[in-house]
Every structure is written in C-alpha cells, then in structure tokens.
Amino acid sequence: MYLKPWNACLSLFMVILISLCAPITSQAVPSNKITETKIIRYIPLIPSEEREGYCWTNSNIIKRSDVWRCMIGNEIFDPCYTVQDKITIVCGALPDIDKPSGFVLKLNQPLPTPDVAERPSSSASMIELEDGTICDFIAGASGATDGVRSERINYSCRIKGQNVIVFGDLQPGTIWMAEKGILFEQKTRDDLPPFMVKDLLKVMIRTIWQ
C-alpha cells in the first residue's frame, strides 16, 4: 500500500512512540567485580621439549606433595609439577595458556620421598591482579631475589615498558591481596639502596595458580 509523505511520517512517529512506551526487559550486565579470589590447582600439559636434571625436595612455593624444586645444570626451577600421568615432571610451564609450555624434566636421579603435607599455600606460581595483569613468580637462581623495604620481590608482572613487581607475601582471604609497585634503579646517592619502588598500591587478586 502506498502512503503519502505525511502519512509515512505519522506512521514512523507512531512506531517510535510505541517503542518508547513498551516495557523494558532487564538484562544481566556482566560484572568484573571480584567477590572471591579463584584458586586453581594447576596441572600442566606435557610439552615436547626435554631437559635433564633432578629434584631434591618439594617446592618452596607450592605446598603440594607432587610439586618439586629441581636443578637443571646450574639453574633452579621451582615449581616443577607432576602431571596427570603421575610420572612425568614438567618445569617452567605457564598456567595462563591452553597449550603445552615449559619442558619435561628427564630425571637423572630418583625423586625424593615427599616431605610436605598437603595444605593451603599462601604463595602461587602465577597470579592475575584485579585489572587482568599477569604476574609470574621469580624463583631466582639461588631461590632469592632483591628486596624492597626488607621484603622479597616475589612476582614480576607482564607490563611492557614498566618494571612492575609484587613484593612481600600474598595476603590470603576470601579476596587475596597483594602489594605492587614500579621498581627502578637508584643511582643518585651512594647511601641509598640500589633499587627503589614507587607508586605503591595494594590490589586485589582475581586468580591464583598453585
């Protein structure tokens, strides 16, 4: 049916009016607000790369009887995980990717007897902060890293162009907390520590991998 121009305008006006008067259906809006930190018991996939070494004790980081502290050459890797087959050991895996990472540890010595009771740990191999930033635990060649305010630098965060770190122990709770800052080298005075931290901030942790 053909409508004259003014009739067409009237019809369009009625459509708009009906739309405005129609009841509004409420929809759930996804929220990124953290109500509880997600704790993932991580078991890596098996990668193709192999390296030879040994493990002499359970992990210093993750309090699990199937997670190890291992030596490959002069390097310490912690945590190294026993995977699903209960035999293979994988070190250097990245929990936030869905494909195999790290390497299989080909043992040149038998595993020691587990010497840790299964219990909740206040550490993690990796954490996701409230803004989505991923931070990896720094094992360090000797099991230690530089300190800030007498606290260990525990995590290095993946932020390009900024040396963002998490230092001190994570603070467990319904929502876990961490203290982060930007690490910079202090060169102005000889009597100051070699490293300083600025922009200190307590942040919530969205996810931890143990």
Output the pLDDT for position 24.
34
113 pLDDT more than 80: yes
Asked whether the beta carbons of 80 and 90 are under 8 A apart, the reply is: yes
Whole-number Å distance between alpha carbons of 191 and 150: 16
Output the pLDDT for position 197.
72
Asked whether the beta carbons of 209 and 174 are under 8 A apart, the reply is: no
| Average pLDDT of span 98-111 | 94
- pLDDT, tens digit (0-9, with 9 covering 90-100), for 56-100: 999 988 989 999 999 999 999 999 999 999 999 999 999 988 889
161 pLDDT more than 90: no
Residue 7's pLDDT band (boundaries 50, 70, 90)? very low
Which segment of 2-6, 116-120, 188-192, 205-209 scores lowest on mean pLDDT? 2-6
5 pLDDT more than 50: no
Task: State the CB neighbour count (10 A cutoff) for residue 187.
Answer: 8
13 pLDDT more than 90: no
Output the pLDDT for position 43.
95
Q: What is the mean pLDDT of the chain?
A: 80
| Average pLDDT of span 91-120 | 90
Residue 151's pLDDT band (boundaries 50, 70, 90)? confident
Q: What percent of the chain has pLDDT over 70?
A: 74
Give which of 42, 53, 96, 98 is closest to 76, Cα–Cα: 53
